[in-house]
Each structure stands twice: as C-alpha cells, then as structure tokens.
Amino acid sequence: MADKTAIVTGSARGIGAAIAKRLASDGLAVAVLDLDEAACADTVAAITDAGGKAIAVGADVSDEDSAAAAVAKVADQLGAPTVLVNNAGIIRDNMLFKMSVDDWNSVMAVHLRGAFLMSRACQKHMVDAGWGRIVNLSSTSALGNRGQANYSAAKAGMQGFTKTLAIELGKFGVTANAIAPGFIETDMTAATAARMGVDFDDFKKAAASQIPVNRVGEPADIAHTASFFVSEGAGFVSGQVIYVAGGPKD
C-alpha cells in the first residue's frame, strides 16, 4: 500500500484519528482532514513521528467548493487519493418534538452531503487509477435510537449510499463498504454522558453490561475494520455493512 494515498475526514481526534494512524502504519500516505486544520496537528505528528507520511487539511466537507479544494490539495501534495474514509460527523440530539430544522439540516449536511461531496470528488482519481476504496462510517443508530431522529436517518442513509456506490463503481475496481460502530469510547460519547448528567465511567459500565463481549469499544476496534476494507485482500468485498458493536445487530 506504499504507493496509495488516503483521505480520512474528521480525523483530528477519536475514531478518525485512530483510522488515520492505522492506515499510515499500513503504509499509506494520509491526509488528516478536519474542519479546523490546526486541530489535525496531533494526529499528523503521531503519524510522522512513527515514520509515516501525513499532512493536515482543513475543510468543511459539507461545502462543495471546500471539499473539492481539499481533494485537489491532497492530490497535489500527497498523490491521487484512491482511499477515502468518510468519518466526519456531528450530533445534535433531541426528541423529535424539540428538534429544530437547524439540528436536522446540520447533521444531514455533515454526514450525508459531506460523504457525497467527498466521494464524488475522489472517485475520478479512483476510476483513473482503476483501483479505489471508499469506507463510510454508519452507526448502530441506523437501526433507530431514541432522541436521534436526525443522526439515525443520516446513518441509515450512509448504508444506502454505500451500497449504491458499490454498484456504480465496482466495474472500475472501486469498492465501497460501511462500518457501523456500536458504543465506542470517544469525546463524543463522553459529551453525551455529560449532557445526560451521568458520570462517564458509570455510562460506560451501563453500556458494557448490554454488550455480549462485556466491554465498550475503542477507536482501534473501528480502525482494524477500516484497515481490512482498505486492504488489497478485500477487493471482493463491496457493498457491505459491518456492525462493530461487540455482538449481533439486526
């Protein structure tokens, strides 16, 4: 994979940072992309200190011009991006009767519009190369989750988007797959606990008690799965959704 370049969106921290570091250890050059370019510094430093190659890229994935400019910058500085991980995401949780139109639109814009714009901008490089990998981050919330009508709809949409990309791009040597994490210990889940007024350790223990493997997930669990999807060996795996949740999901 040493001649391949990857873009990982939302990779300044959390799951995205873990994926970026893992792909760099697999030999890819990695564009660490986030809304705030300065926030990418720690992830880039971790990669370069370990002997990998990475650059920081600031971009709003929900903005057409910003997404296109980011992909062009990566192509110019690292090489044509033939691996894309659409991880960027936000939450604006609320019950339906209290959810604002802005809460709905913001979540849809980052998750779905962002994945669309980044995939559209990268696919030409993949088609030209006759090889590509797109990995989209869904969630177990795609199956429905109280207080997350916007997020659940967006994550379910990511699965339909993934399957359609697999159908359209397969003949060009491009695969598209999705990862649907369960409870992963990140700043986002910590913020959820804080918003609920629950101690984070207690929050994790309660979650773990409902998970068959009896623990919550870590960003590295998702990074391992992304590494597989991106690998040469996964070339016959496309249009799939893997629930990385410590147990079966319907």
> Which residues are annotated as catalytic?
151
CB atoms within 10 A of CB 73: 16
Residues 75, 82: Cα–Cα separation, whole Å: 10
The residues near 160 (Cβ < 8 Å, ≥ 6 apart) are none
CB 31 within 8 A of CB 7: yes
Specify the residue for token string 């971009």.
59
Structure-block tokens of residue 219:
């960003």
**SS3 state at 198:** coil
| Helix 219-230 with 14-25: angle, nearest 10 deg | 50
**SS3 state at 86:** strand
Residues 125, 173: Cα–Cα separation, whole Å: 12
The residues near 69 (Cβ < 8 Å, ≥ 6 apart) are 59
